[in-house]
Structure 1
Amino acid sequence: MSGFQFERRPPRIALLEAGRQILAEEGLAGLSLRAVTRRVGVSATAAYRHFADREHLLAAIATSGVWDLTTALESADRMAVAPLAAQGEAYIRFATTNPALYRLIFGPERLGHYPELENALAAAYGVLATRVAKTVSAGEAADKSLACWCLLHGLADLAIDGRLPADSGATDILAARLTMAVAPER
């Protein structure tokens, strides 16, 4: 496999992109600092200038993924009609298009002690919570926001695992319908 065009990207970005590619192709088991540097075409020690260890690399990859999710939710929120339903569709589309990245973000690696990742997750949740707050009474907003987030997360897990009933229909449309059931848009 040919490496990245390292000279055209900042090194940290090239390493993150390589890490995301390896994660998508080989899963978490195939992702190491050595594999990332090999993919980029730099020395084995080059990654240590940017990431203290594999866990730091994983946290950086997860954080970049959450910002991508946040961007998708923000784009969906700008929809003229049914922005909450569009956010539900965007969430599921992100998860099912990037299952390994989604699993890294929300999986058992427990990367929660990285402030950058926590901030990114709070921003993603904030986009959804802000929209829900515009659709329900103030007293219901916190519970309904959490209910929507949990619904989308559970639906994403079931979709990735192929565990949805055969008659449930297209997953992104299902996400829109269920999200609207929790917090109907006015």
Structure 2
Amino acid sequence: MPSSANNSYHHGDLRQRLIDAAIALIGEEGIRDLSLRQVARRVGVSHNAPYRHFADKEALLAAVAEQGFESLRVAMETARQGIPFNSLERLEAIGIAYVHFALAHPFHYRLMFGDYRYNFSKHPALAAVANRSFIVLVNTIKEGQSAGVLRSDDPHNMARVAWSLVHGQSMLALDNKLQIEQGEEFTQFLRFSSQMLIQGLAGNSAS
């Protein structure tokens, strides 16, 4: 007789439990050896149960990455909305929130931006949420341009420059290459680098 826990899985909770198990296993053993069978075993369901939600390993990993991008978008948007009017301060807050997200969710982040390659045409939901997280940055730059405090170059290219900075910081921090302990000193470094970036993005627009 199936357990009551398994019954609850079949009524809506199994998909998220499989995603959670995949994240845990990625943290323990990496992505390469992950399998749906292994994830099913961790959750305590039959080997066939994951296929009700995911066609294969790539589909499961795409769901994990999708969840990560949505959480990143929320973190960036929350930081942005916490500063009502100043677009330059919003840009700084978004950058800091981005790096803090990466450090708080390292397995999500490495899956989102690491060596694993997705066929985005097969996973339109993942492509859409990844784009929405990027658009938070683009829109903030457009606000700064409208306010006359950022240069009037292509906002998407300017967003790519900003993204390149915070992504590099995130990966260096995750790999313990920055030689700065996480804490107030690290946050001060993030603020300093964000201000240097903003000066470049502002150019002569504010003069």
Distance across 2 between alignment mates of 1:54 and 1:15 = 11
Match of 1:177 in 2: 192
1:73 and 2:44 aligned: no
1:125 and 2:134 aligned: yes
Report the aligned-residue RMSD. 2.5
Name stretches of at least 5 consecutive residues in structure 2 with no aligned partner: 145-149
After superposition, the C-alpha distances for 1:75-103 in whole angstroms (9 at most, x for unaligned) are 11112262221111111111112222211
| Superposition deviation, residue 174 in structure 1 | 2.6
TM-score scaled to structure 2, two decimals? 0.77
| Superposition deviation, residue 140 in structure 1 | 5.0
Give aligned pairs, total. 182
What does 1:111-150 align with in structure 2 at a 5 Å threshold? 111-113=118-120, 114-135=123-144, 136-150=150-164
TM-score scaled to structure 1, two decimals? 0.85
Distance across 2 between alignment mates of 1:51 and 1:171 = 39
**One-letter amino acid of the structure 1 residue matched with residue 116 of structure 2:** E
Name stretches of at least 5 consecutive residues in structure 1 with no aligned partner: none
Q: Residue 35 and residue 131 in structure 1: after superposition, are their counterparts in 2 closer, same or farther (change >3 A)?
A: same
1:152 and 2:159 aligned: no
After superposition, the C-alpha distances for 1:23-51 in whole angstroms (9 at most, x for unaligned) are 23433245321122122211011001111
What does 1:1-186 align with in structure 2 at a 5 Å threshold? 5=5, 7=8, 9-29=12-32, 31-80=34-83, 82-113=89-120, 114-135=123-144, 136-166=150-180, 170-183=185-198
**One-letter amino acid of the structure 1 residue matched with residue 93 of structure 2:** A
Distance across 1 between alignment mates of 2:40 and 2:188 = 40
Of stretches 170-179 and 157-166 in structure 1, the one that deviates more from structure 2 is 170-179
Larger radius of gyration: 2
* SS state at 1:19 partner: helix
Distance across 2 between alignment mates of 1:96 and 1:65 = 12
Q: Residue 51 and residue 43 in structure 1: after superposition, are their counterparts in 2 closer, same or farther (change >3 A)?
A: same
